[in-house]
Amino acid sequence: MEIKETEYEMNQERISALLEQHGHARLQNIPPYERQTISLAAYEHGAYAGGITGEMVWNILHVQLLAVDEAYRGHGVGALLLEQMEALAKAQGCKVSELTTMSWQAPGFYQKQGYEIFGEIQDCPLAGQTKFYLKKQL
The pLDDT tens digits of the residues spanning 85-134 come to 999 999 999 999 999 999 999 999 999 999 999 999 999 888 999 999 99
**For residue 23, what pLDDT is reported?**
64
What is the torsional sign of CA 39, 37, 10, 60? Answer: positive
**For residue 125, what pLDDT is reported?**
87
On the question of pLDDT at 28 being above 80, the answer is no
Within the chain, strands assigned E span 36-44, 47-57, 60-68, 96-102, 116-122, 130-137
**For residue 17, what pLDDT is reported?**
80
Q: CA distances (Å), 78 to each of 3, 72, 73, 74, 120, in order?
A: 42, 9, 8, 8, 23
CA dist 78 and 61 (Å) reads: 17
**For residue 29, what pLDDT is reported?**
67
CA dist 78 and 138 (Å) reads: 17
Which element (helix H / strand E) includes 29? Answer: none
Which CATH number does the domain 34-137 belong to among 1.10.150.20, 3.40.630.30, 2.160.10.10, 3.30.70.1250? 3.40.630.30
On the question of pLDDT at 27 being above 70, the answer is no
Q: CA distances (Å), 135 to each of 11, 44, 71, 114, in order?
A: 28, 29, 28, 8
Express each pLDDT in 47-92 by its tens digit: 999 999 999 999 999 999 999 999 999 999 999 999 999 999 999 9
